[in-house]
Structure 1
Amino acid sequence: MVRQVAEAPVLSRRERARQATIDEIKSVGRDLLAVDGENGVTIRAIAREMGMTAPAVYRYFTSHELLIRALRADVFAEAAHAVLAGAADGAAHDDALRRLLDAARGLRNWALSHRHEFSFVLGRSPVSPEAQEDQEAQDAGWVFGSAFAGLLCELWLQRPFRVPAESELSPELVHQLNGLRISRQLDVPVGAIAVMLSSWARLHGVICLDVMGHLAFVLPNADAFFEYELFRLCAELGMADGYRPPR
């Protein structure tokens, strides 16, 4: 059976020009984000850098919020790429634990070299109640979240780790985790998702503290501490013997 390959729609010259301008606006926004953080990403600043007027930029992004959403989606995708690139960096596909450890290292390395971008999507940036209920915003975040979820699912399938029974969790937590399992089609028990979230909270917390300089007063270099946390994660999964230091 021959699989039909969907062809990309052919854009008109006007559509190509519009897309090129949108891409340039986002590129300039990323440059401003990298230098000045989120507060530096304004329509006026972008217009000034591009030699355009602010109203002209608004023809492509009708609000500052829409621009920020587009940039968040792009940065989430880049962070997910850093995770997956780390997981693919030399580890055999059947060594899910090693792939997970390398993915965590890949994310940390990306975060340390993209501090403003990390803070923009995974750090101090506040998330409003409106954004929490915004499906588009949730989907953008899940582009990144699915990278780690996929690696942890691989690990569960290869080396099932001990997970709490649903009776050990509160009914409200079970309800929310089951909703996540169904909506994101995670083929693992609810208890495994609880362990996954706990593991992610640990790694995210250490990376946040490191990126924002909150470990510097005790650890001039947090590399060894991050590896210690990775070892502890392996130990709590019952896989201390699988820990390997970075190559």
Structure 2
Amino acid sequence: MSAARTARERVRAEMVREITDIARTHLAREGAAGLSLRAIAREMGMASSAIHRYFPTKDDLLTALIIDGYTALGEAAEASQRAGDPPAERWLALCHAVRDFAVARPHEYALLYGSPVPGYQAPADTVAPALRTTLVCGRIISDARPTPPDLAPPPPAAIGPDIEAIRAVMPGVSDDAVTRAVTAWTALFGAVSFELFGQFDNTITHRREFFDHGMRSLARYLGL
């Protein structure tokens, strides 16, 4: 009974993997809004009703793709870190890991950080995978305990509760350092999105070099 159950689980896992692999190719062609369980089933040569045994709805498939995407990005972020490297180098490694993921897998990046899919609401299952990359950044800042240069006004009192919530991923860090970390994190993904979604077309040619310079500048802004 146990062996049979294991075999069934293995077959199911293989089917789920095949469905999500095909879904990624459809994602590249039609985008998230155009994803269709019926079309995927047709390509696999299976009845459209059969695919619902694995993904009852399109939203379930989107959730699986989002979790896979966040997991892959989180793994890349974690793999970029080397024990003993200075905080600035760890920050740069993390930034390039995010950009490299986006350049190599643009449609998955767009699913995670592009325009929301109409009618789709991401469930709580996506939160932990999404936090993996953020936690890498938090560890860098927390380990460094930076004292940023005096280049900006102190954070306004109104965002104090937000700072306290964010400090959960970078304990022991000053309010100013937390605020700067969020600003730098926003700038990182803004730079990647500008490159990926065409805002740098006919403007920035050497994009990796431009990106590297920007992230090094942010390292100084962070006090790393």
- CA deviation vs aligned residue, 1:125-152 (integer Å, no higher than 9, x gap): 3587954xx4323333213322332333
Q: Distance in 1 between matches of 2:116 and 2:59?
A: 14
Q: Does 1:56 find its partner at 2:56?
A: no
- TM-score of the pair, normalised by structure 2: 0.83
2:107 corresponds in structure 1 to 116
Deviation at 1:173, TM superposition (A): 2.0
Structure 1: gaps spanning 5 or more residues: 1-9, 240-247
Residue matched to 1:6: none
| 1:15 alignment counterpart | 9
CA-based RMSD of the aligned residues comes to 2.8
CA distance in 2, matches of 1:52, 1:97: 51
- One-letter amino acid of the structure 2 residue matched with residue 188 of structure 1: G
Q: Report the Cα distance in structure 2 between the residues aligned to 1:94 and 1:218, rounded to whole angstroms.
A: 34
Contact 2:92 2:212 in 1 (8 A): no
Amino acid at match of 2:171: D
Compute the displacement of 1:193 (Å).
2.5
Rounded to whole Å, the distance in 1 between the matches of 2:21 and 2:173 is 41
Equivalent in the alignment of 2:162: 176
Residue aligning to 1:187: 171
**Alignment match, 1:83:** 77
Change (3 A) 1:162 1:220: closer
Larger RCO (CA within 8 A; separation ≥ 6): 2
Write the distance in 2 (CA, Å) between the matches of 1:66 and 1:111: 23
Q: Which residue of 2 aligns with 1:209?
A: 194
Distance 1:54 1:154, change over 3 A: farther
Greater alpha carbon shift after TM alignment, 60-69 vs 168-177: 168-177
Matched, 1:223 2:195: no
Contact 2:81 2:93 in 1 (8 A): yes
Render the CA deviation track for 1:163-189: whole Å, top value 9, x for unaligned: 99xx9434442212323434x5x4233
1:72-112: CA deviations, max 9, x gaps? Answer: 00001111222223334xxx524222121022112212211
**Alpha-carbon distance in 1 for matches of 2:174, 2:55:** 40
Residue 220 of structure 2 corresponds to 235
Paired with 2:22 and 2:50, the residues of 1 have a C-alpha distance of 15
Q: How far did residue 33 of structure 1 move?
A: 2.2
Question: Residue 100 of structure 1 contacts residue 151 of structure 1 at CA under 8 Å; is this kept in 2?
Answer: yes
What is the correspondence of 1:93-132 to structure 2 with a 5 Å cutoff?
93-125=84-116, 130-131=121-122
Q: Percent identity?
A: 24
Q: Which moved more, 1:10-19 or 1:41-50?
A: 10-19
Contact 1:34–1:114 (8 Å) recurs in 2: no
| Cα distance in 1 between the residues matched to 2:66 and 2:59 | 10
Residue in structure 2 matching 1:150, options 130, 133, 139? 139
Counterpart of 1:201 in structure 2: which amino acid? T
Supply the distance in 1 between the matched residues of 2:36 and 2:203 (Cα, whole angstroms). Answer: 36
TM-score by length of 1: 0.76
Partners in 2 of 1:169 and 1:162 — Cα distance? 13
- Equivalent position amino acid for 2:106 in 1: R
> How many residues in Structure 1 have an aligned counterpart in Structure 2?
218
Q: Distance in 2 between matches of 1:232 and 1:44?
A: 48
Matched to 2:92, the amino acid is: L
Partner of 1:44: 38
- Could you say which residue in structure 2 is the equivalent of 1:162? 148
CA shift, 1:234, in A, is 2.3
**Residues 1:113 and 1:126: Cα distance change in structure 2 (over 3 Å):** same
CA distance in 2, matches of 1:235, 1:65: 41
1:144/1:34 Cα in 2 relative to 1: closer, same or farther (>3 Å)? farther
Shift of 1:29: 1.4
Tell me the SS of whatever aligns to 2:80.
helix
